[in-house]
Structure 1
Amino acid sequence: MILQTEQWMELRRFRALREAGMSISEIARETGTNWRTVKKYLEQPGTVVPERGTPRKGCIPQVVTAYAPVIDAWLRTDITLKGTVIHERLVDAYAFTGHYQRVKMYLQEARPRIAAELGLGPGDMDGLHRRFEVFPGAQAQVDWGTEGKLLARSGIEKVYSFHMVLSYSRDPFCCFTTSMDLATFWDCHRRAFAHFGGVPKTIVYDRTKTVVRRHVAPGKAVPLHPEAVAFAGHYDFDIDVLAAYRPTGKGRVERQVTIVRDHVLAGRSFASLMELDAAFAAWVPLRRARTHRTHGEVIGVRATRDHAALRPLPARPYIVADRHLRPVGKDCLVAFEASLYSVPARRIRPRQLVEVRAGHDTVSLHLLTADLTGSTLLAVHPRAAVRGQWVIDKTHWDGLPDGHTRAVTTGELTDDRPAARAAASSTSPLQDLLQRTGADQVPVGRRSLQFYDEIAGIRPVRLVPPLDTTTEKETA
């Protein structure tokens, strides 16, 4: 018995599933067919499945055949040209009346043929990647999202979203920050580990500067940032850095960035980062209740197995600090990220270099060498939320002049010394001035003007009487 085309296609599918060990009812549910129909085709003896033959001669040629030379020429120029683009250009430039599916079917045959003519191997075809699945707890993927001026009304210029997704279950984590620096990046990891209740065995990154120290040529080992190595060693996970320009290697988290924007942020307004984090936390149960289209299971059910396979959190966290050297100003302030932080005036000198250790929410300032007590810590301040902020501890200025002794008067100066107060009632103002300066105790010599004329040679020198050393006061 010869079956029709639709019948033998179904029969081939039924037989493949039957050989894989599925029952008739399972095949019926998989194919959407009644179980009696499945049983009928599987039990029919002597069925012959026709082989696919060559097209019959004399058939009406397809419309796309007349445009094959044009399509081949375009493919020789760019082998990766999309079928939708080719169809659009044919309609616009050549008044093509055929359907897009005909162009697509022709490209399936023409693209490998043109690639062979050009000497392109399978590795030269861009845009292809391998789909993979992992075991529970085996992998997570990390990425940043830029949310723009989401909190511009609150004075925050830019907002960024940090995303981590468990690859097995697609269970998401997201938090919002105002910076993508080193300390913030790894602090977001600690928050993600607390959200999942453990640490995955491997985390996939792109070549961000907070993970990679510098870029290298393809095929070379990627040098990791020292803080990334220390953090991964403390939490016991491996770092997997993708090759350059391969975003499909972490497609799970790339997709999650768009999902969060559509379901959490779109059409809403927020006043702070806390409100953003709270909105995501409220959405997570809804996400976990959905059935994922790829693995076909409820995300929350699959996440339970994922969380159970994670590695335990260490007893103490690892705090990453971004370190910088900065000079101390004459006002005992240190500039960092356009904000000013105070240090104790008694422990530093102007233009002295100090180390700034910037954490996610704190900034600590340290001496380069320990003091007599063996400590290097100068001060710890909360990190400035906006640029240009002054973060000052007023006790750091103790001992410096503050101007509290400055005063002015429109009257006469008075001497508060006891001796001056005792003589104030019996002396005149001139005598008070002389007594204060001691001028009345200085002897004054008296000579005539002729003496100076004789010294200058204007007149002969004559003997003069001895100098009169009587004081001016006695003469009066």
Structure 2
Amino acid sequence: MLKTEEWLLIRDLYSQGFNISEISRKTGFDRKTVRKYLRLKNLPEPQKRPGRKSKLDPFKPYILEKLKEGPYTAARLHREIKEMGFDGGKTIVKDFVQNVRPEQGITAVLRYETKPGVQAQVDWGELGTVEADGKLKKLYCFNMILGYSRMRYVEFTLSIDTPTLIQCHLNAFGYFGGFTQEILYDNMKQVVIKRALKVSDSEWNSQFEDFFKCFGFIPRLCRPYRPQTKGKIENTVGYVKRDFFLGRRFTSLEDLNAQVNRWLERVNSTVHGTT
């Protein structure tokens, strides 16, 4: 198919009195081609070539449907469609999810990175309700993440009292094979009753104070209204919700914790980008 400027050149030469044979010699186009384009009043639009088929195409409806249900991570969606027969990589799934998921503005902040063994961060997440002993109870998610390696420990509980918090710490220490010099918390009442301007002057929860003094780690409190000071753990809470818990089926609290332990084996085997 001729370009617009070539078509216009043929028409211009014809309007100057050149015949088809002369136009053919001047332009190098075949006489049939010259004659054909002289008959046209408008140059036809070029036909678009059909796009190349992607191996992701059969799985796109499933991904779109899942994204309607909730903010699943691309990594989780990739695992699910692999079980359905997809044999492609993560990148093509990630790119597709980024294109179809609504964009959310993210405020840039400067993170404080810690050295190995220095700091861990802890928080609770609330994940709705579950039926236990014939009653609806709130389901909580204890999260601890090591500041340097981003290794995580996650445990689901039906309580957020101080003895449960302490037991979750002990389970996390066992999972990690030790504990860091300090652990960062928000101002949860299970840790601190009254925060002072100088953290060491704060009134600690007596049970938790006995616990951290016995083990010898230093509790740190994040600054009020400065959520970025514990961004690692808040990212972990959101990641657990999106990559593990969303749409999860389980028969009991024990079953849920067994499933999250298998999930932890996978996510903790991935080296973090800042490590």
Q: What range describes the TM-score normalised by the shorter chain of this pair?
A: 0.5 to 0.7
* 8 A contact 1:151–1:159 mirrored in 2: no
* 8 A contact 1:137–1:168 mirrored in 2: yes
Question: Paired residue for 1:207?
Answer: 187
1:288 Cα deviation from its structure 2 partner? 2.1
1:201 Cα deviation from its structure 2 partner? 0.6
Question: Paired residue for 1:227?
Answer: 207
Q: Secondary structure at the match of 1:248?
A: helix
**CA 1:257 to 1:151, structure 2 compared with 1: closer, same or farther past 3 Å?**
farther
Q: Secondary structure at the match of 1:292?
A: coil
1:267 Cα deviation from its structure 2 partner? 1.6
Q: Unpaired segments of 5 or more residues in structure 1?
A: 1-126, 298-476
Q: TM-score, normalised by structure 1?
A: 0.33
CA–CA distance in structure 2, aligned partners of residues 153 and 182 of structure 1: 22
Q: Note if 1:135 corresponds to 2:115.
A: yes
Which one of the candidate residues 238, 246, 252 is aligned to 2:218?
238
CA–CA distance in structure 2, aligned partners of residues 248 and 152 of structure 1: 35
Which one of the candidate residues 163, 171, 193 is aligned to 1:183?
163
Question: What code does the residue aligned with 1:162 have?
Answer: F
CA–CA distance in structure 1, aligned partners of residues 246 and 268 of structure 2: 19
Question: Paired residue for 1:195?
Answer: 175
Please list, as runs of the form range in 1=range in 2, the aligned pairs for 1:365-444 lying within 5 A after superposition.
none
Q: Unpaired segments of 5 or more residues in structure 2?
A: 1-106
Which one of the candidate residues 126, 129, 145 is aligned to 1:146?
126
Which one of the candidate residues 229, 233, 248 is aligned to 2:228?
248
**CA 1:225 to 1:139, structure 2 compared with 1: closer, same or farther past 3 Å?**
same
Question: What code does the residue aligned with 2:135 have?
Answer: G
Q: Which has the larger radius of gyration?
A: 1
Question: Which whole-Å deviations, capped at 9, do the CAs of 1:229-255 have from their partners, x for residues lacking one?
Answer: 211111110111112122211111111
Question: What code does the residue aligned with 1:282 have?
Answer: R
1:212 Cα deviation from its structure 2 partner? 0.8
RMSD: 2.1
Higher helix share: 2
CA–CA distance in structure 2, aligned partners of residues 154 and 196 of structure 1: 35
Greater RCO (Cα-Cα under 8 Å, separation 6 or more): 2
Q: Secondary structure at the match of 1:158?
A: strand
Which one of the candidate residues 140, 155, 164 is aligned to 2:135?
155
CA–CA distance in structure 2, aligned partners of residues 155 and 190 of structure 1: 28
Question: Paired residue for 1:173?
Answer: 153
Question: Paired residue for 2:74?
Answer: none
Question: Paired residue for 1:19?
Answer: none
**CA 1:199 to 1:128, structure 2 compared with 1: closer, same or farther past 3 Å?**
same
CA–CA distance in structure 2, aligned partners of residues 274 and 235 of structure 1: 28
* 8 A contact 1:164–1:172 mirrored in 2: yes
CA–CA distance in structure 2, aligned partners of residues 289 and 166 of structure 1: 14
Question: Which whole-Å deviations, capped at 9, do the CAs of 1:413-468 have from their partners, x for residues lacking one?
Answer: xxxxxxxxxxxxxxxxxxxxxxxxxxxxxxxxxxxxxxxxxxxxxxxxxxxxxxxx
Q: Secondary structure at the match of 1:157?
A: strand
Q: Secondary structure at the match of 1:191?
A: helix
Question: What code does the residue aligned with 1:240 have?
Answer: R
Question: What code does the residue aligned with 2:172 have?
Answer: A
Q: Secondary structure at the match of 1:187?
A: helix
Q: TM-score, normalised by structure 2?
A: 0.56
CA–CA distance in structure 2, aligned partners of residues 151 and 219 of structure 1: 42
Question: Paired residue for 1:271?
Answer: 251
* 8 A contact 1:141–1:205 mirrored in 2: yes
CA–CA distance in structure 1, aligned partners of residues 194 and 222 of structure 2: 14
* 8 A contact 1:161–1:174 mirrored in 2: yes
CA–CA distance in structure 2, aligned partners of residues 238 and 275 of structure 1: 33
Question: Which whole-Å deviations, capped at 9, do the CAs of 1:260-281 have from their partners, x for residues lacking one?
Answer: 1122212222121111111111
CA–CA distance in structure 2, aligned partners of residues 246 and 151 of structure 1: 35
Q: Secondary structure at the match of 1:213?
A: strand
Q: Secondary structure at the match of 2:127?
A: strand
CA–CA distance in structure 2, aligned partners of residues 174 and 133 of structure 1: 21
Question: What code does the residue aligned with 2:257 have?
Answer: D
**CA 1:137 to 1:219, structure 2 compared with 1: closer, same or farther past 3 Å?**
closer
* 8 A contact 1:214–1:223 mirrored in 2: yes
**CA 1:259 to 1:154, structure 2 compared with 1: closer, same or farther past 3 Å?**
farther
* 8 A contact 1:134–1:167 mirrored in 2: yes
- Percent identical pairs in the alignment equals 35
Question: What code does the residue aligned with 1:257 have?
Answer: V
**CA 1:193 to 1:291, structure 2 compared with 1: closer, same or farther past 3 Å?**
closer
**CA 1:195 to 1:232, structure 2 compared with 1: closer, same or farther past 3 Å?**
same
Question: What code does the residue aligned with 2:269 have?
Answer: A
Q: Note if 1:257 corresponds to 2:237.
A: yes
CA–CA distance in structure 2, aligned partners of residues 212 and 269 of structure 1: 35
1:151 Cα deviation from its structure 2 partner? 4.1
Question: Which whole-Å deviations, capped at 9, do the CAs of 1:50-86 have from their partners, x for residues lacking one?
Answer: xxxxxxxxxxxxxxxxxxxxxxxxxxxxxxxxxxxxx
* 8 A contact 2:123–2:233 mirrored in 1: yes
Question: Paired residue for 1:164?
Answer: 144
Question: Which whole-Å deviations, capped at 9, do the CAs of 1:137-173 have from their partners, x for residues lacking one?
Answer: 1110000000112447963421100000000000000
Greater CA drift, 144-153 or 196-205: 144-153
